[in-house]
Amino acid sequence: MFTLLEVIEPNEEILDLVKDRKAKITKGKINGVKNTNIKTVLPVIYKIPYQDQTLAIYEYKGDFKGNKKFFIPTYQNTFNLKEVKQILVGLN
C-alpha cells in the first residue's frame, strides 16, 4: 500500500548540540500511496531529556509554515533552525 520515497536524515547541527544528552532520534520518512500521488510525511523526531522532562522536536522536510521546519509541541509553535538552537542551548 505504501512505498518509501525518501528517508529524512536528522540535522547535523542539532545532532551536535544534543550528542551528550542521550537523545532518542527517529529518522523521518516520506511515503507514497501506491497508484496515487498522495504522500505522507513522517518528521524526524528528537526526544531530548532535560531535568525531569523530555523536549520533543519535530523536523519536517521542505517548506513548512513559512520556512520554519521545526515544531515543538511543548510551545505549540513552529521555529527555524536558529531559534531551535537557542532553545537547546538554554536547556541547561
Q: What was the pLDDT predicted at 64? A: 62
Mean local confidence (pLDDT), 18-23? 90
| Least confident span in 24-28, 34-38, 41-45, 63-67 | 63-67
Does the pLDDT of residue 63 top 70, yes or no? no
d(CA 12, CA 60): 14
| Residue 67, all three cell numbers | 520556512
d(CA 7, CA 48): 21
Please, what is the average pLDDT of the chain? 91
pTM summary value: 0.89
Q: How confident is the model at residue 2 (pLDDT cuts 50, 70, 90)?
A: confident
Distance of CA 58 to the CA centre of its chain: 3
Q: What is the DSSP string of 3-14?
A: EEEEEEPPPHHH
d(CA 50, CA 86): 15
